Amino acid sequence: MGSREQVTELLNQLDKDLKELEIAHEKYFLGTEKRLPEQQRQKLTLRMRKMITLYIPQTDLRYRLNSISSRYNSYCGYWDRIQRLIDDGKYERHTSRIRRFALTRPSAQDTAEPNPSADPVDNLYKQLVDAHQVCKLRAPNRDQVVSFIAKQGETIKQRFGDKPFDFVVVTEDGKPKVKVRAKR
């Protein structure tokens, strides 16, 4: 290996690249970047492996390399864990963004012309399927929705009496739910 200055320069570059990779991952986790920085991570992994195999006689530089390597391995575990949570739909930053999107996005009922001949169960089912797709969950089949509405019929009549009501799909805690609300 080269001189102390060369090794120090390589370690400085490794440290800088690790910080850039950390920032790139955070941008991805926040949703500002669309893609995971995989190529950048692979390149840094290869450079890290090459540096670890080098003989460095200076104890302080070896210690610094081990420190950078340890930090990198900790970050890799953290990034992998966060990615698994995102894939499972349990990552809070992503689920809160999905909830905000679902709340601000106009529903199909609001944007479409009111069609009195359309089946209200079809409209409800379409909204429920859309909400499940936004949350990246498997949507129930139409028969399940119809049976749910039939089971809840008596409870709805007790609650609202003769007042008109609507079924509304809302997303709470990352899961779509059907709620009954009085018409205004």
The mean pLDDT of 37-41, rounded to a whole number, is 96
Higher pLDDT, 67 or 116: 67
Give the number of other CB atoms < 10 A from CB of residue 68: 19
The mean pLDDT of 7-14, rounded to a whole number, is 95
CA distances for 56 relative to 18, 20, 148, angstroms: 20, 25, 69
Token pair recorded at residue 38? 């995989």
Q: Among 70-79, 87-96, 146-155, which stretch is predicted with the lowest mean pLDDT? A: 87-96
- Per-residue pLDDT tens for 75-133? 999 999 999 988 888 877 756 666 666 666 655 445 544 454 467 778 888 888 888 88
Q: Among 57-66, 67-76, 80-89, 156-165, which stretch is predicted with the lowest mean pLDDT? A: 156-165
The per-residue pLDDT of the chain, averaged, comes to 83
Higher pLDDT, 131 or 47: 47
Q: Nearest 5°: phi and psi at 3?
A: -80, 175
Higher pLDDT, 26 or 92: 26
- Say which residue the tokens 């790139």 belong to: 24
> In this model, does residue 152 exceed pLDDT 60?
yes
Q: What's the pLDDT at 92?
A: 75
Q: What's the pLDDT at 114?
A: 46
Query: How far is residue 149's CA from residue 135's CA, in Å, rounded to a whole number?
Result: 22
Query: How far is residue 57's CA from residue 34's CA, in Å, rounded to a whole number?
Result: 43
